[in-house]
Amino acid sequence: MIKNDFGLYLIITNPFFPYKKIAETAVKYNVKYLQLREKELRDREILQAASEIMSVTDRTETRFVLNDRADLAYLCGADCLHLGQDDISITDAKKICGENVCGYGLSTHNLKQVEEAVKLKPDYIGFGPVFQTNTKKKPDPVTGTEIIAEAVKLAGDVPVVAIGGIDGENITRVLNAGARNVCMVRYLMDSIHFETRVKETVEILNDYGL
């Protein structure tokens, strides 16, 4: 069981470094969740990437998460499946995945969605985008930092991961607003200094007791 306050959540999207290198770094710095979110890859390529990542994360404290696809999560035996607002329900995903997948996450973009999501008892929820981001082709409206604390309160025992446009310059604003877990995508994936940035981010989170 992963506690509510676990710090960094890593998402892999079109990374500068190979998947295996990213997985090794995640394990090295004890990142609890490592998600593969590659929407442009073919199914076979996703399964290959998942295999490379899981060859590193298997039997570690880093959970491998597959995005969107319950069928592929079942096939590769992902630890967790992350679902968006337009994806199939957790109930239907569990029918597909059975015991092959043991954890589920949900994306939320406003407080109403947070309320609805926690009723489904996911392992965690994502909340954002906190800041403007170009990670998605059609980004959801920016939430800002003002309602992060309220989202965390509404979620209760369900961990909340703040996501969207978070980087080394604004992460403290997000943490000071009440976030206990953060996801940084482009700031980490686009950089040749990936491991250094992960290390620095973990150190900042440690300063906040995470």
Model confidence at 137: pLDDT above 70: no
Q: Write down the pLDDT at residue 4.
A: 82
Q: What is the CATH number of the domain that holds 60?
A: 3.20.20.70
In-domain check, residue 2 = no
pLDDT classification of 150: cutoffs 50, 70, 90: very high
In-domain check, residue 101 = yes
In-domain check, residue 66 = yes
Model confidence over 92-128: pLDDT tens digits? 999 999 989 999 999 999 999 999 999 999 999 999 9
Q: Write down the pLDDT at residue 69.
A: 97
Give how many domains the chain has, as a whole number.
1
In-domain check, residue 1 = no
**Residues spanned by the domain of 184:** 7-207
In-domain check, residue 187 = yes
In-domain check, residue 194 = yes
Q: Write down the pLDDT at residue 136.
A: 66
In-domain check, residue 106 = yes
Q: Write down the pLDDT at residue 199.
A: 98
Model confidence over 52-94: pLDDT tens digits? 999 999 999 999 999 999 999 999 999 999 999 999 999 999 9
Q: 120, exposed or middle or buried, with CB in 10 Å at 0-12, 13-18, 19+?
A: middle
Q: pTM above the 0.85 mark?
A: yes
Q: What is the DSSP string of the chain?
A: ---S--EEEEEESS-SS-HHHHHHHHHHTT-SEEEE--TTS-HHHHHHHHHHHHHHHTTSSPEEEEES-HHHHHHHT-SEEEE-TTS--HHHHHHHHGGG--EEEEEE-SHHHHHHHHTT--SEEEE--SS--SSSSSPPPP--STTHHHHHHHHTTS-EEEESS--TTTHHHHHHTT-SEEEESHHHHT-TTHHHHHHHHHHHHHHTT-
Q: Write down the pLDDT at residue 1.
A: 58
Model confidence at 166: pLDDT above 90: yes
Model confidence over 89-100: pLDDT tens digits? 999 999 999 989
